[in-house]
Amino acid sequence: MEKTLILRFSKKTWNKPVIHGLSKSADLVFNILEAKVLPRQEAYAIMRLEGPEDEFEKGLEFLKTANVVVEEVPDKVLRDEESCMHCGTCTATCPSGALSVGPPPDFEIPLDLDLCVACGTCVKVCPVNAMQVFVI
C-alpha cells in the first residue's frame, strides 16, 4: 500500500530524530515531499510511504509513541484550511469543478477531491499559497 502522510511536530518534538526512528521501526520506503519548521518552532513533514500494511501499523505506532500527529492526505492535492480565505480565485481556473463557489450566505469554496485531476492550476493562482499538489 501507499499513503501520503503529514507528520506534525510540536515544539518539543520537531528537533528529535523521529524520521530516523521511523526508518528503524518499520520496513517502509519513504520519500519526503516537503518539510518545514514554522515560526513557533513547530514543524511538519509531508511524506509518501510505501510498504505492507503491517509495516504501516508499526510505523504509525512508533509515530504515536513519539508524540507526532499524523494526518493522511486523501489525494494528490491538499488545501491548508487555515490559510484559505475562500476568496474564490481558484474556482475560475479549476478545470474539473473540484473547486467551486458554495451556496449563500457564506459562499465558501468546497474542494471535491473526487473531481480533482491534480493539474496544479489552483496552486499557481491562490494568493495565499493554500493549495499544494504533490508529484508522486
Interface positions with ligand SF4 (CB under 6 A): 77, 79, 84-90, 94-96, 98-99, 109, 116-122, 126, 128, 130-131, 133
Question: What are the C-alpha distances in Å from 91 to residues 5, 84, 124?
Answer: 26, 13, 12
Packing angle, helices 53-65 and 18-25, rounded to 10: 140
Nearer to ligand SF4, 49 or 90 (CB): 90
Q: Which is nearer to ligand SF4, 37 or 92 (CB)?
A: 92
* Other CB atoms within 10 A of residue 113 CB: 14
Report the residue number, 7 or 130, with the smaller CB distance to ligand SF4: 130
Type of residue at 24: K
The whole-angstrom distance between residue 37's C-alpha and the CA centroid of its chain comes to 15
Residue 4: CB minimum distance to ligand SF4, A: 14
Q: Least separation, in Å, of the C-beta of 1 and ligand SF4?
A: 23
Q: How far is the CB of 41 from ligand SF4 (least distance, A)?
A: 26
